Chains A and B, each alone.
Chain A
Amino acid sequence: MSGAHVEVSGLVIAVDTPAGERRIVDEVSFAIPRGEVLALIGESGSGKTTIALSLLGHTRFGGRIAGGTIRIGETRVDRLDAAGLGALRGRRVSYVAQSAAAAFNPSRPIMAQVIEPLLVHRLAGRAEAEARAIELFRALALPSPEEIGRRYPHQVSGGQLQRLMAAMALITGPELVVLDEPTTALDVTTQVDVLRAFKDALRRVGATAIYVSHDLAVVAQMADRIAVLSGGRLVEEGPAADLLAAPRTDYARTLFAAARPKADAASPAPGDVALAASNLVAGYGQVQGGIPAIPVIDGVSFALRRGEALGVIGESGSGKSTLARVISGLLPAASGEVRLAGKALSPALAGRSREQLRQVQLVFQNADTALNPAQRVGEILARPLALFHGLTGAAAEARVGELLDLIRLPRELAGRRSTELSGGQKQRVNLARALAAEPDVLLCDEVTSALDTVVGAAILRLIDELRRELGFATVFISHDISTVRAFCDQVLVLYGGTAVEQAGRTAFARGPHHPYTRLLLDSVPALERGWLERQPPREAVLREGEAGLCRFLPRCPVAIPGTCDRAAVPLREGDGAAWLCHHRPIALVAQERESMT
């Protein structure tokens, strides 16, 4: 491998702690041939980002490169001084961060920021730099490449901003591009386009790349080689095709298993209707005639029985989280009704009794902000016990212990502050606080999206087991369609605040009924190489659908001219599902089309 373009050998990155030196990256070696993409995968804390950043000669958290060599071409990055690193970064090695929204300066136009690397390194004048940027915008399939540079970061979508950041990284024609989870924050539908744009652009520039990700399916599309990391050590490394087909180590197999949750058996015989919503309309701004100025949820209805799980999916902005807030009373519905065990709930929190508040519990997405950092785990869990069940003193303490057992955390954690817990532990405590109320309905809002695949899968399994054991109904909000498919008895697909499809588990398993559901399903990368190349190009449309017509119309690949753009969309029912479309089930339509050609 001496001919490799990038070579890391025996890399040790250490941080100095009061207890002595701690190695966060330990004896990691790999090599990447010129023009190939190496993926670094592993859980958080596995050192993947630390290794990726070390290729820019940068270490975080007061860490330092304590041993080993990093070579790019003929340059030893580990031996460069500040001036040498300045000449390297942004010119020969560039970086694409996870959150483009945080990486762009919101007060400068995009173009000025994209061409900055060229100007800083004096590689081109402003006019030439801008011409090059526009060329890259075109290569990255950005809409109106001549115009987009004049906008400010908040004026473009998340997926576009991520591609603009790639343009910034590629504009100097670097030898090596480091991409750090560049699509993790994006919707699946957007992710496909961004991945394709990245792949094409990398190939065009001929750069070698390091792709950091925890999503194996994404890695399968992007990488030529894969390195699996755990606890700062290299577990396994090899060509992507071999590794995906037959991982050699147990750890890699665990990661692979967590990547796609397996469908569980159906729920136990469901009981009475626990939670029902009819024609919910909610949003922000002044309400006039039951319709808010900015509607977010528009006419959503469902019925959920005890012990059942309802999955709510949709892209960001589809109103998923708003639905949870409306059910919990945080955002009063403008019209429509939520019924709990047959009794209508007051729309606002203030009108609900303590007993009703106990029955509906909301688990927030981000456990970092959902747990009060000033309180200890024991206090956090004891509060709902005191409030809803009147438990105090030794009785509350005993119950806190039981709750910790229930969520499989050691009882000693009761004395810790939430800031001293890991991400997975925090999310378990977050869940335990909701369970402490002994709710009848548990609303889970994207509870795994901030977690690693392996940790997230464990949380999902835990919620699923507890639901079967304790018999509460669950509303499971997620953007991850495979999760919803595996854990839910009913699926509700939201698009622009409207339920475009509602289906039972078996009906949903038979295939999508609405074209949007199909788009969502098709956008989830498969764990096989070459999937990305088979995807038909999609046009990202940000236009809203016209009032009265199908909202999905501007993006619909199977719209019927003369029907969909004229007549109001009908609600079709059958096959254990209901969907808003002029078409019969889209799965059938698609099959017929394929058989015709």
Chain B
Amino acid sequence: MNARLKTLAGFARALPLSGRIGLALVLFWLAVALAGPALAPYSVGAFVDYDVFSPASARFWLGSDYLGRDVFSRLLWGARYTVFLGLGAALLASLMGTALALTAAIRGGWVDEGLSRAMDTLISIPSKILALVLVAAFGSSLTLLLAIPAITYMPGNFRIARALAMNLVGLDFVTVARARGEGAPWIALREILPNMIHPWLADLGLRFVFIVLLLSGLSFLGLGVQPPHADLGSLVRENVSGLTDGALAIIAPALAIASLTVGANLLIDALKPAEGQS
């Protein structure tokens, strides 16, 4: 563990300032997601204030929401849904999309054609309708909430990863590997993937932001995380009537989403390959 911490410290030191800020924000939100419920002063669904949209006070650090629940507690509970569902789905979408994209790029021909057209079909299905159908069929569950955005955002990642891989697959070093008799997994994972990792990560960051939005939308429709639980997106949506008062109940979760997504993207942007440092 100590050694791991040391590598993390070394990794952080190598980053530019923006990257360190991003890393700090991401680590902060991971910690909140893990430890949040244990730290929360009140239960997630408890009605603890008679007033709604009350301002910050010693009892309610971030005030109360539209039903008089403690915003701070709900934020601590809600972060895990956004972080784990959002990041999980983004990772799942990107991994599946990229695996298929690499297969398409390396095999080419009808494999490429078949996969590309299948993805085109998938991309043309409206995501919310797909979600509605799936939830109607299977009932809302966390697994489904992970699967829906993963499937919805996979074709987009496939498109980008395929374009990146196509540019690389024709390069001489890939031809050299083919001529050496390397198998497809080696070519995909060792020759192609490391050279597209940076744009790939940027895409992952973007997809993460989109998925947070999709999950919030689903929650708003009552298809997402079920009450009394709520992810950060639904916290914003359910307190939207407090917007005119400038209630903390809406500002706090909005800031939380912003800091998480901005942090994730700052970190990803800072992971540029060390080139031109001769």
Interface contact A352-B195, CB-CB below 8 Å = no
- Selecting from A63-71, A308-316, A369-377, A502-510, the interface stretch reads A369-377
For residue B176, which residue of chain A has the nearest CB?
Answer: A370
Taking the nearest CB of chain A, how far is it from the CB of B214, in angstroms? Answer: 33
- B246 touches A (CB below 8 Å): no
Residue interface bits A309-349, CB-to-B below 8 A is 1, else 0: 00000000000000000001110000000000000000001
Bound CA–CA A419/B276 (angstroms) = 8
For residue A419, which residue of chain B has the nearest CB?
Answer: B275
- B191 touches A (CB below 8 Å): yes
- Selecting from B105-113, B178-186, B255-263, the interface stretch reads B178-186
Bound CA–CA A369/B195 (angstroms) = 12
Query: What total of chain A residues lie within 8 Å of the partner, measured CB to CB?
Result: 25
- B172 touches A (CB below 8 Å): yes
Q: Which A residues are in CB contact (< 8 Å) with B176?
A: 362, 364, 370, 433
For residue A434, which residue of chain B has the nearest CB?
Answer: B176
Bound CA–CA A354/B194 (angstroms) = 25
Interface contact B171-A369, CB-CB below 8 Å = yes
- A366 touches B (CB below 8 Å): yes
Q: Which B residues are in CB contact (< 8 Å) with A437?
A: 180
- B173 touches A (CB below 8 Å): yes
**Contacts A370-B173, A372-B191 hold; do A384 and B278 have CB atoms under 8 A apart?**
no
Q: Which B residues are in CB contact (< 8 Å) with A349?
A: 178-179, 181
- A200 touches B (CB below 8 Å): no
- B175 touches A (CB below 8 Å): yes
Q: Which B residues are in CB contact (< 8 Å) with A366?
A: 172
For residue B277, which residue of chain A has the nearest CB?
Answer: A420
Interface contact B173-A371, CB-CB below 8 Å = yes
For residue A384, which residue of chain B has the nearest CB?
Answer: B180
Bound CA–CA A437/B172 (angstroms) = 18
Taking the nearest CB of chain B, how far is it from the CB of A372, in angstroms? Answer: 4
Bound CA–CA A42/B122 (angstroms) = 58
- A303 touches B (CB below 8 Å): no
Select A328's contact among B172, B173, B179, B191, beta carbons within 8 Å. B179
For residue A353, which residue of chain B has the nearest CB?
Answer: B181
Select B181's contact among A357, A419, A433, beta carbons within 8 Å. A357
Residue among A349, A369, A384 with most chain B CB within 10 A: A369
Q: Which A residues are in CB contact (< 8 Å) with B178?
A: 330, 349
Give me 22 A-to-B residue pairs in the complex whose CB atoms sit less than 8 angstroms apart, sorted by A's number. Answer: A330-B178, A349-B181, A361-B179, A362-B176, A362-B179, A364-B172, A364-B175, A366-B172, A372-B173, A372-B190, A373-B195, A373-B275, A374-B194, A374-B195, A374-B273, A375-B194, A383-B180, A387-B180, A387-B181, A419-B275, A419-B276, A433-B176
* Inter-chain pairs besides A328-B179, A330-B175, A375-B190, 17 sampled, C-beta below 8 Å: A329-B179, A330-B179, A349-B178, A349-B179, A349-B181, A357-B181, A364-B175, A369-B171, A369-B173, A370-B173, A372-B173, A372-B190, A372-B191, A372-B194, A373-B275, A374-B194, A374-B195
Binding site for B on A (CB under 8 A): 328-330, 349, 352, 354, 357, 361-362, 364, 366, 369-375, 383-384, 387, 419-420, 433, 437
Of all A-B residue pairs in the complex, the 4 with the closest CB atoms, nearest first, are A374-B194, A370-B172, A369-B172, A357-B181
